[in-house]
Amino acid sequence: MSRESNLTPVQAEGVAVHTPGVPTVGGRGSRRSTLRRAWRSLLRAKWPLLALFILMLVGLAAVIGPSVAPKDPNRQDIIARLQRPFEAERSGEVEFILGTDSLGRDVLSRVIYGARISLLVGFIAVAIGGSLGVALGIIAGYFGGRVDSLIMRVGDIQLAFPFILLAIMFLVVLGPGVVNLVLILGIGQWVTYARIARAQTISQREKEYVEAARALGATTGRILFRSILPNILAPLIVIASFNIASVILSEAALSFLGLGVPPTVPTWGGMLAESRDQLLAGRWWLAIFPGTAIMLTVLSFNILGDWLRDFLDPRLQGVG
Amino acid sequence: MWSYILKRIVQSVGVILGVTLITFLALHMGGDPTYLYVSERASAEEIAATRATLGFDRPLHVQYLSFLGGLVRGDLGNSLSYRTPALQVVLERFPATLELTLFAMLIAILFSIPLGVVSSLKRGTPVDGSIMMVAMFGQSIPSFWLGIMLILFVGLGLGWLPISGHVPILAPLFQGDLATAWANFPRAVPYLVMPAVSISLFSLSRNARLVRSSMLEVLSQDYVRTARAKGIPPYGVVVRHALRNAWMPVVTMLGLEFGFLLSGVVVVETIFSWPGVGRLVFNAINQRDIPLVQAAVILFSLLFVGLNLLVDLLYARLDPRVRLG
């Protein structure tokens, strides 16, 4: 039971369960029809579609931000400092749609540039944590025994203390920076993936197709990552979607604490930290826009994760 | 039962050793920690002398053992900025943090259970839909941003609640001054509301979803149907039969919850200038006062591990399947 008490929130909500027989993403042959079904299901459910649309916008901002941002996000303009949103110049033109901060930097451009760090850190950290966790989980589940208990005990230890505090400590010692941030956030995520991959592997390892692969003389590596992995991907993809959301939240919190990327790089969390000094003066726009950006991005990943879970496992529809 | 308890205790000790090892190594990962303790203009002799005084010249495993020995005696080294024992500095701020965490937890529990139950009973209706949508939002809003928004709109805009300040409740209580603690309580609440709401919204939302899915599972069980068939009124079925079993997973979450809430405290305290460990850690980060951060991380982790152990044991007590299994 102690295992159960360490369930992560998403697992506890029942994501980890996967029904055999439901087509898996990456499954052989049926990939195109799965995609078509996914698209149709997306069109039916309205919120996930909206979420996807928002994420595409955020993605666009991250990729082509520099060419659409109206200003250089770091250009200071002391004369135009602390302008309100939509405040017209003397010429009658609105130069800064979302206003400017205390150094006269354009808030809109900074919000657009901020998408880059949030998405970059989110995706890379999840990729690091995901691949590490899945690899260790499959190995633990396939081999069992000592390897299994060693990997899972280390995971238990990691889950047993509040991760963000540990991240804070390492970042204080190692110093802030994108590489350190991504590594620490990534390593923080592996246990969840490892647990699910392990459980799934255990349920798959005695199946005929694995036996067939073994009989055909496939190497262990091939069995693990070419035979088993594609068949256990579905729940892992669902987890990854929720996970990106929580990593983005952690990144924002760490950037807020000044432990994220260097202050010259605009981030949503960093913008919120800077907005604190202007709070009492009622400069609301400095806090509202970056915060809304974080919220919408995280919300979209969560909604999409919810939809993915229902789509990949109809048995769980409406639960959780 | 006893073997289970023993197993969990041994496990917890292992976890604590792991935590201390990692916190210990963190101090050394940034290079020779001696440089944190000497001024920038210190001569080579001074640096060597400090290194010897602090014991950083010994082999790493010896240092770790003495670090553990210190931990047992409650000595985690001196804070660099306060020049007093780090653990003591942290413990002085701890009652304020505990107040905030407990209050946040109370809010999370008081709201999540009814919301989750209502949502599960009204499954598929607009009521369910809107509660779940709000819960989805709640899980997507960064706690510190919610804090800032509350300050802007509820504190500054409407002027309903104070945006900073603190009236101690637990500090006098720990000193045995029950009368002061009691008298302070009503004055303390207004200061607690906004920071506690900011910290708890995430947990509240997640728990509401958890209670709902747990209730849905229980409501489809045979014994609930039997209870309904027996003619027990709906309220009785929910409270006496369903909720009693549905809240097991919620109990499990509470231990973890405390840890999440404690983590949230670091950022939110900073925003509301709450005089607790969180703000202390924030300042320590800025001053690179690593021993202080270390002491806070260890204290929080010990609490977290201890609480999880407690919850598991409670769980074993509540659930016969664990007790006998």
Q: Is A243 inside any structural domain?
A: yes
Size of interface A-B (CB pairs under 8 A): 181
- B312, B11 in Cβ contact below 8 A? no
Chain B CA closest to residue A286: B148
Is A281 contained in some domain?
yes
Mean pLDDT in residue range B215-243: 77
Tell me phi and psi for residue B85, to 5 degrees: -55, 130
Residues of chain A with pLDDT > 90: what percent?
Answer: 23
Q: Which of B41, B73, B105 is the last residue of a domain?
A: B73
Residues B274 and B298 in one domain: yes
Question: Do the chains contact at A160 and B15, CB–CB below 8 Å?
Answer: yes
Q: Compute the nearest-CA separation of A305 from chain B (Å).
A: 11
Last residue of a domain, one of B73, B102, B123: B73
* Whether the complex's predicted ipTM surpasses the cut of 0.85: no
Shortest CA gap B29–chain A (Å): 7
Q: What is the distance, to the nearest Å, from the Cα of residue A221 to the centroid of all Cα atoms in its chain?
A: 28
Is the residue at A4 inside a domain? no
Nearest chain A residue to B256 by CA: give it: A6
Task: Give the domain CATH number at B177.
Answer: 1.10.3720.10
A161 touches chain B (CB under 8 A): yes
Nearest Cα of chain A lies from the Cα of B90 at a distance, in angstroms, of 14
Residues B162 and B210 in one domain: yes
- A279–B148: do the CB atoms touch at under 8 Å? yes
Expressed in angstroms, the distance from the first to the final Cα of chain A is 21
Alpha carbon distance B24, A249 (integer Å): 27
Residue of B nearest to A172 (CA): B285
Q: How far apart are CA B272 and CA A280, in angstroms?
A: 12
Q: Are residues B197 and B239 in the same domain?
A: yes
Beta-carbon separation of A161 and B259 below 8 A? yes
B307 domain-assigned: yes
Report how far Cα A182 is from the mean position of its chain's Cα atoms.
11
Q: Say if A228 falls within a structural domain.
A: yes
Q: Is the pLDDT of residue B146 over 70?
A: yes
Q: What are phi and psi of B272, to 5 degrees?
A: -95, 10
Residues A76 and A106: their CA atoms lie apart, in Å, by 8
Find the length of chain A.
320
Kindly state whether residues B23 and B118 are assigned to the same domain. no
Check CB contact under 8 Å for B142 and A153: no
Q: Is residue A107 part of a domain?
A: yes
For CA atoms A215, A220, A225, A231, give the dihedral sign.
Answer: positive
Task: Tell me if A9 is assigned to some domain.
Answer: no
Whether chain A has a CB inside 8 Å of the CB on B296: the answer is yes
Residue B230's contacts (CB-CB under 8 Å, 6 or more residues apart) are none
pLDDT tens digit sequence for B4-49:
788 888 888 888 888 888 888 887 777 777 777 777 788 888 888 8
Whole-number Å distance between alpha carbons of B223 and B212 = 18
- Kindly state the average pLDDT of the residues B122-135: 89
CB contact under 8 A, A291 and B30: no
Residue B80 falls inside a structural domain:
no
Give contacts of B 132-161 with A, CB under 8 A: 136-137, 139-145, 148-149, 151-152, 156
pLDDT for position A232: 86
Tell me: do B51 and B164 sit in the same domain: no
Is the CB of residue B110 less than 8 Å away from at least one CB of chain A?
Answer: no
Separation of alpha carbons A11 and A4, rounded Å: 10
Q: CB of B103 within 8 Å of any CB in chain A?
A: no
Q: Can you state the angle between helices A163-174 and B2-29, rounded to 10 degrees?
A: 20
Compute the distance between CA of residue B213 and CA of residue A245 in angstroms, rounded to an integer: 21
- Quote the DSSP letter at residue A226: I
Asked if residue A231 belongs to a domain, the reply is yes
B302 lies in the same domain as B222: yes
CA distances from A222 to A55, A101, A141, A226, A284 (A): 35, 55, 15, 5, 56
pLDDT at A131: 95
Residue B264 sits in which domain range? Answer: 86-324
Range of the domain at A87: 56-312
Residues B52 and B198 in one domain: no
**Domain end residue (candidates: B17, B38, B73):** B73
Provide the pLDDT for residue A91: 67
Q: Select the residue of B18, B19, B140 nearest A295 (Cβ to Cβ).
A: B140
Confirm or reject contact between A17 and chain B (CB < 8 A).
no
Any B CB within 8 A of A150 CB: no
Tens digit of pLDDT for each residue in A208-246? Answer: 888 899 889 888 888 888 888 888 888 888 889 889 998
**pLDDT of the residue at A167:** 85
Note the pLDDT of residue B247: 67
Query: What's the mean pLDDT in A154-165?
Result: 78
Q: Which amino acid is at B229?
A: A
The answer to the question of residue A71 being in a domain is yes
> In chain B, which ranges are continuous DSSP H helix?
2-29, 34-37, 44-54, 60-72, 86-121, 126-138, 143-150, 170-174, 178-219, 222-229, 234-236, 243-246, 248-271, 277-286, 290-318, 320-324
Do the Cβ atoms of B209 and A13 come within 8 Å? Answer: yes
Kindly state whether residues B40 and B69 are assigned to the same domain: yes
Which ranges of A160-228 does DSSP label H, i.e. alpha helix?
Answer: 163-174, 178-187, 190-204, 208-215, 220-222
Do B260 and B226 lie in a common domain?
yes
User: What Rg do the C-alpha atoms of chain A give, in angstroms?
Assistant: 23
Pairwise CB contact (< 8 Å): B267 & A256: yes
A186: confidence class by pLDDT, cuts 50, 70, 90: very high
Q: Do A160 and B301 touch (CB under 8 A)?
A: yes
B90 and B69 inside one domain = no
Residues B101 and B199 in one domain: yes
CATH of the domain at A154: 1.10.3720.10
A57, burial (CB in 10 Å: exposed 0-12, middle 13-18, buried 19+):
middle
> b/e for B236-274, b at 16 or more Cβ within 10 A?
ebbeebbbebbbbbbebbbbbbbbbbbbbbbbbbbbbeb
Residue spans of beta strands (DSSP E) within chain A:
none
Residue B53 sits in the same domain as residue B29: yes
pLDDT class for B320, splitting at 50, 70, 90?
Answer: low
Touching B: A residues 266-295, CB under 8 Å: 269, 272, 275-276, 279-280, 282, 284, 287-288, 291, 294-295
pLDDT above 70 coverage of chain A, percent: 85
Average pLDDT, integer, range A83-106: 74
What's the pTM value of the predicted model, to 2 decimals? 0.83
The Cα–Cα gap between B310 and B70 comes to 25
Q: How far apart are CA B257 and CA B294, in angstroms?
A: 22
- Encode pLDDT of A268-289 as tens digits: 888 888 888 888 787 888 889 9
Position B79 in a domain: no
Q: Do B148 and A276 touch (CB under 8 A)?
A: yes
Question: Which residue, among B213, B194, B4, B38, has the nearest Cα to B103 in the 3D structure?
Answer: B194
How many independent structural domains does chain B possess? Answer: 2
